[in-house]
Amino acid sequence: MSDAPRTEPRPQALKPSRDPQLVLLRHGETEWSASGQHTGRTDIPLTPAGEKQARYAGGALADYEFAAVYTSPLTRARRTAELAGYADAVVDEDLAEWDYGPVDGRTSHDVSAELGREFLIFDDGVRVLPPSAEHGEGRPGETLEDVATRAARVVARAEETLAARAEDGGGDVLLVAHGHLLRVLATVWLGVDPRLGARFELGTAAVCLLGYGHSLRTIEGWNLAAQ
């Protein structure tokens, strides 16, 4: 049996498209993402595994030269951006995760038990429970429509760069953020009901590629490169 140290697996670098792409990167694993607890504005760090995932994602994006990189203000996203190689990412408050209010820190199983039925966040929202000082610091939380409105502002800003010529600072854009926020943003990109975000599974440190085809906004890759 060899005592040689294990080499870490290297990701296959994703190949940029000829046309501009909006690239999404979810943050790496945290203790709450691993346990299934909704993590909204609670600011918890990456686990060691999450830091490893972030570096791996950076390798997957190594062939991109982004014209702009934006990150959520929350620590887990900013650290993911840093470890992926984008320490200079610009903080965009609109990229913060869905404010879960009374659902923050709870699992779907916990909420379902309290409601006496299955809890489906994209259908039910988070205001199915009363505000609680123990969860979400007493905030009622955002509606799905609130989150979609923020996502639409992000998309509008990103498209200014996507649409610009390369000599004018245009090109691909990277967004580093959170699972639910990015799933809602994908529905905004497509112009469909944000509740369809429930159908877009997104792992920690996964990459998604949004682009254009036949004058339509499209999804060119989803849930890629997750380790």
Q: Which residues are catalytic?
A: 27, 97
If one counts every other C-beta atom within 10 angstroms of the C-beta of residue 67, the result is 18
Type of residue at 62: A
Per-residue pLDDT of 91-114, as tens digits, reads 999 999 999 999 999 999 999 999
Strand pairing report for 90-91 and 207-213:
unpaired
* Residue 7 pLDDT: 58
Per-residue pLDDT of 127-177, as tens digits, reads 999 999 999 999 999 999 999 999 999 999 999 999 999 889 999 999 999
* Residue 11 pLDDT: 80
